[in-house]
Amino acid sequence: MGYDTRFDGMLEFTRPMKAAELAWIDRVLEAGHNWTQEIADAIWARADAERDARGHGATIVSGPDAADLAAKMQGFIVGNGLSADYAVHLCVSDDKRGLVHCCEKTYDIVGGINFIITNARTKIPDFGLTGELVADTEFEPYHWFVKIGSDGMAYADDGKPERNRAFRRIRDWLRPV
């Protein structure tokens, strides 16, 4: 991820979602950022304990760690490869067919998507996504994809998007693939 990464495309739901299912997906998307007073107190207590263990310095609240604690306290599944913090960087598309990127900066989009998939399946067992997002950034590899694997989970693919005409720049369309 660079300073100016743009994600295009949509991860489509594998079937139409009902209103109650969309409401659950919205709860999953915001799990890491939906803080009650109890959650806020726990996050600050953890940060204070870490400061005390260091013996000095400022109280530091880590965004990703705080989001995971907030999600865990609400009963969501957290863990390695899952990011409650970056799940909120996606939103349900206006036409309700899938998820689109809706944030300026995202550093762990794969972890955010896998958090959504894992937790959506707790109430929607047949929940699934299909499709891909293409990332366009100013750093190597410049273009890469977020895809859904055969196991139904997201992964980053640094494949060659220039081989896919849909993602080639207009000036490159006339060059052979």
Torsion sign, CA atoms 72, 75, 78, 82: negative
Specify the amino acid at residue 29.
Answer: L
Higher model confidence: residue 173 or residue 28? 28
What is the three-class DSSP state of 89?
coil
170 pLDDT higher than 50:
no
Query: What's the predicted TM-score (pTM) here?
Result: 0.83
DSSP string for 4-59 = T-EEEEEEEESSPPPHHHHHHHHHHHTGGG---HHHHHHHHHHHHHHHHHHTSS--
User: Of all residues in the chain, what percent carry a pLDDT higher than 70?
Assistant: 85
128 pLDDT higher than 80:
yes
pLDDT at 119: 97
Residue with tokens 């009650």: 36
pLDDT band at 144 (very low <50, low <70, confident <90, very high): confident
104 pLDDT higher than 80:
no
DSSP letter at 10?
A: E
Higher model confidence: residue 15 or residue 103? 15
43 pLDDT higher than 50:
yes
